[in-house]
Amino acid sequence: MQQAIAILDSGVGGLTVAKEIMRQLPREKVIYFGDTARTPYGPRTSEEVIHFTEQIVDFLVQFDPKVIVIACNTATAAALEHIKRKVDIPVIGVIHPGARAAISATKTANIGVIGTVGTINSGAYTEALKQLSPYVHVESLACPALVPLVEQGDFRSEHAKNTVETSLSRMKEFPIDTLILGCTHYPFLTDCIKEVMGPGVKLISSADETARETSTILHDKRKLATIEDTPVHQFFCSGDPEMFQSIARSWLGEQIKNTPVVWQVSKML
Amino acid sequence: MQQAIAILDSGVGGLTVAKEIMRQLPREKVIYFGDTARTPYGPRTSEEVIHFTEQIVDFLVQFDPKVIVIACNTATAAALEHIKRKVDIPVIGVIHPGARAAISATKTANIGVIGTVGTINSGAYTEALKQLSPYVHVESLACPALVPLVEQGDFRSEHAKNTVETSLSRMKEFPIDTLILGCTHYPFLTDCIKEVMGPGVKLISSADETARETSTILHDKRKLATIEDTPVHQFFCSGDPEMFQSIARSWLGEQIKNTPVVWQVSKML
């Protein structure tokens, strides 16, 4: 049986990563787990986030995946190193890919990062950016109001626009030329964020960069799929499967036309 | 002593990769070898290119590098797998990074590739692109007149512009939206190439992408440098060191202000 790429997130945000992985690696099968019953992870303690991430990884390793992608910045910041030590397969987070892409993109070395309270307070982006280059200046801002918008499927309403504008107002004061969307939920709000930040700021999506990095790591380990058939993906969530399915269908569209249902997993929790 | 990133090329083209590695990974020390006495590699047989690449790798491993970057598309196409089997450290080529970036960038799945006769005839880009996605359509074109321009330091003259225009005329007939500069010499000619191809075609530079991929692989292997000092790079070439030095200084500028000289290596050949 074809080994899959396992992707996990606190909810639907990781679907932005899944979409890019399906687009950039269309031969690969994806198994996705969204912890929609316990979203958002942003305000939780890192102990809680580590515990939840471990539970989901325990569930996913049953499928013998070739790689695990922690498609959640909060979980990457809290649990990536922990999970890397725990399992014997490659584990990819979303923070270093975003940091690398931002350093590649910036011309002025002034980089902004927005994320959940957990991600921003961890300092993980600043650390990753400074590890690569001591010359960058980093401005960070927590935007706790954005994930709830996305989990409710509200991406373009007046309310969504106002919430994005208010959340980003402090970031607009800094002379950044590159902004890392340091939460996998934020690409759902790209249009609003672009409008608020203006054309002089390049947005870096963890989703795009993490998909490329997954491709790089699978290639390095000689684990890229070679099959000719269109893979059939699998989706699991811990909360209401109908809400999840509705967001997944609208975001992924054609890419999951062969995927019949979303399975709700509750026993593990 | 700090382990270096070793970079090799048929001549000065790999300096485009070196520049991006120095920019994206400013803590890393670079050791560069340009085989300027035997450039261009493009028209040579693959046996010759493998033999030359092996000789250079034998030279470079004396410095105990942490990774070897084959910053030459012709050498990557002919010798990457060969060198990977030969040495016990990570070896990165320039073809897969470019392919990955092109697939990430294209909206229409119509991708063009330009390179040397050796690179294009090897079919290595088409193979790498198709391995990732069966849905892309690839147009390839050999442009043998471009490397000699760059090795002579002629990037912007009327003659250079006309040569680029003539070389690319067949590629302009195809409805591509993404063009892979499948030779590390070509970024020197970016301005001319951009003018000829127009604003609707995104150019993918092996240099930028290979630097990011080097960063990803070093991070995965926990080999990123942590030192605080500015590293002192080293340059070697097999031909005229003055021509090499002049091109290196004009291309790298500030990045090599601590590097006093280029060493000419001829005994190995």
**pLDDT > 80? residue A262:** no
| Radius of gyration, CA atoms only, chain A | 17
Q: How confident is the model at residue B256 (pLDDT cuts 50, 70, 90)?
A: confident
Residue type, B87: V
Q: How confident is the model at residue A267 (pLDDT cuts 50, 70, 90)?
A: low
- B223: which residues sit within 8 A by CB, 6+ positions away? B3, B66, B67
**Residue range A33-67, pLDDT digits in tens:** 999 999 889 889 999 999 999 999 999 999 999 99
Q: Of B49, B39, B48, which Cα lies nearest the Cα of B75?
A: B49
The dihedral of CA A231, A16, B113, B73: what is its sign? Answer: negative
Q: What average pLDDT does this structure show over A210-235?
A: 90
The C-alpha atoms of residue A135 and residue B29 are separated, in whole angstroms, by: 16
Out of B90, B104, B131, name the one closest to residue A212 (CB): B104
Q: Is A131 in contact with B228 (Cβ distance < 8 A)?
A: no
The segment with the largest mean pLDDT, out of A119-128, A237-246, B253-262, is: A119-128
Residues of B with CB under 8 A from a CB of A: 20, 24-27, 90, 96-97, 100-101, 103-104, 131-135, 208, 211-213, 215-217, 219-220, 224, 226, 228
What pLDDT is stored for residue B113 in this prediction? 98
What pLDDT is stored for residue B206 in this prediction? 84
Q: How confident is the model at residue B226 (pLDDT cuts 50, 70, 90)?
A: confident
Domain covering B5-93+208-264, topology: Rossmann fold (3.40.50)
**pLDDT > 80? residue A261:** no
Produce one character per residue of B86-99: b if its CB has 16 or more CB atoms within 10 Å, e if not.
eeeebbbbbbbbbb
**Residue range A139-172, pLDDT digits in tens:** 999 999 999 998 888 888 999 999 999 999 999 9
Q: Is A104 in contact with B216 (Cβ distance < 8 A)?
A: no
Q: Is A100 in contact with B134 (Cβ distance < 8 A)?
A: no
The answer to whether residues A173 and A141 touch, using CB atoms and an 8 Å cutoff, is: no
Q: Is B133 in contact with A212 (Cβ distance < 8 A)?
A: no
- Report the range of poorest mean pLDDT among A60-74, A255-269, B52-66, B182-196: A255-269
**pLDDT > 80? residue B228:** no
The C-alpha atoms of residue A124 and residue A46 are separated, in whole angstroms, by: 13
The dihedral of CA B151, B152, B153, B154: what is its sign? Answer: negative
The answer to whether residues B261 and B65 touch, using CB atoms and an 8 Å cutoff, is: no
Q: How confident is the model at residue B153 (pLDDT cuts 50, 70, 90)?
A: confident
Sheet holding B67-70, edge to edge: B91-92, B67-70, B5-9, B30-34, B234-237, B262-264
Structure tokens, A187: 């690409």
**pLDDT > 90? residue A18:** yes
The C-alpha atoms of residue A180 and residue A189 are separated, in whole angstroms, by: 13
Out of B25, B131, B213, name the one closest to residue A224 (CB): B131
- Report the range of poorest mean pLDDT among A255-269, B43-57, B190-204, B228-242: A255-269
**pLDDT > 80? residue A228:** no
Q: Is A25 in contact with B132 (Cβ distance < 8 A)?
A: yes
What pLDDT is stored for residue B143 in this prediction? 96
**pLDDT > 70? residue A258:** no
CATH 3.40.50.1860 fits B95-206, yes or no: yes
Q: What average pLDDT does this structure show over B205-233?
A: 90
- Helix/strand/coil for B203: strand
The answer to whether residues A35 and A96 touch, using CB atoms and an 8 Å cutoff, is: no
What pLDDT is stored for residue A240 in this prediction? 87
Size of interface A-B (CB pairs under 8 A): 71
- Report the range of poorest mean pLDDT among A48-57, A234-243, B71-80: A234-243
What pLDDT is stored for residue A51 in this prediction? 96
The C-alpha atoms of residue A239 and residue A154 are separated, in whole angstroms, by: 18
In chain B, which residues have their Cβ closer than 8 Å to the Cβ of A90?
Answer: 220
The answer to whether residues A111 and A129 touch, using CB atoms and an 8 Å cutoff, is: yes
Closest chain A residue by Cα to residue B209: A104
The two domains A5-93+208-264 and A95-206 share their CATH topology (first three levels equal): yes
What pLDDT is stored for residue B246 in this prediction? 87
**pLDDT > 70? residue A116:** yes
> Does the annotation flag B159 for ligand binding?
no
Strands B178-181 and B202-205: parallel
What pLDDT is stored for residue B215 in this prediction? 96
Q: Is A26 in contact with B101 (Cβ distance < 8 A)?
A: no
The domain ranges of chain A are 5-93+208-264, 95-206
DSSP string, A105-169: H-SSSEEEEEE-HHHHHHTHHHHHHHHH-TT-EEEEEE-TTHHHHHHTT-SSSHHHHHHHHHHHT
* Residue A42 CA from chain centroid, whole number: 13
What pLDDT is stored for residue B229 in this prediction? 77
**pLDDT > 70? residue B268:** no
What pLDDT is stored for residue A65 in this prediction? 97
Please identify which of the residues B72, B143, B192, B237 carries the catalytic annotation. B72
Q: What average pLDDT does this structure show over B179-203?
A: 95
Structure tokens, B65: 């590098």
**pLDDT > 60? residue B269:** no
- Has A192 been annotated as catalytic? no
- Has B183 been annotated as catalytic? yes
Strands A234-237 and A91-92: unpaired
Measure B187 CA to nearest chain A CA, in Å. 16
Q: Provide the 8-state DSSP code for A267.
A: T
